[in-house]
Amino acid sequence: MTNKNTPPNHVAIIMDGNRRWAKQKDLDAVKGHEVGIKTLVSIAKNASDLKIKYLTLFSFSKENWNRPLNEVSQLMILMKTFSGEYLKDINKYNIKIKVIGDIEDLGFQQKSIISKVQEETKNNTGLLLLAAFNYSGRNDLIRAIDKILYDIDNQVIANNQLTESLVSDYLDTAFIPDPDLIIRTGGEKRLSNFLLWQCAYSEFVFYETLWPDFSDVLLKDALDQYHSRERRYGSSV
């Protein structure tokens, strides 16, 4: 078992269930996303209190662009809202934000908001909150391979230097450790193209609870489950 006095370095969460939460309450999908953002901020602050160093949240996948246009438009408005009133709360908690994903593929407005939240939190020294936006695990790997091939062509690295560690160094998460724990809300039990390379030895905890109803109590429960497990990394002892 892991040391209960030592929190996992890196927790990642697939925040699933906003739309179903809204549907259950006969509300527009955007209302579920609004409440989901409040939950996001609450969980980030709680993770900071629990001394977790890295928190990665799957906020918007590349596949999410296939949702109804009105919903996507409302999500972009909420993104701007987060960069305003909620960012003040994040700053009070000394949380630093880093956005990962295919940023170059985004429009000017999205890039501007991302630049704003990263710039305004860059000097914070507490929890590092990674927002996976326009992200997919496969795309992360493809972009890493493209960069590796470019550096091989330009003799930055040799073509016989390819190792797991080298690949990791070219991913969006190159600067942080792989997730110790991945949590998914909403009842589904799959990764949905999230951190595919990085999750090789992660522990998983799944909840039926929809993301807007996820709470500090459930986060603590997930950590308790994590601490009850023996992490062997492929060894027999």
| 30, 78 contact by CB (below 8 A) | yes
Out of 9, 28, 64, 193, the active site residue is: 64
160 catalytic? Reply is no
123 catalytic? Reply is no
Tokens of 92: 């009070």
Residue with tokens 């934000």: 97
Does the CA dihedral 32-56-171-103 come out positive or negative? positive
Q: How far apart are CA 178 and CA 163, in angstroms?
A: 16
Strand order in the sheet with 181-184: 96-100, 128-135, 54-61, 10-14, 181-184, 203-206
CA of residue 204 relative to chain centroid, distance: 14
**Which residues are marked as active site?**
16, 64
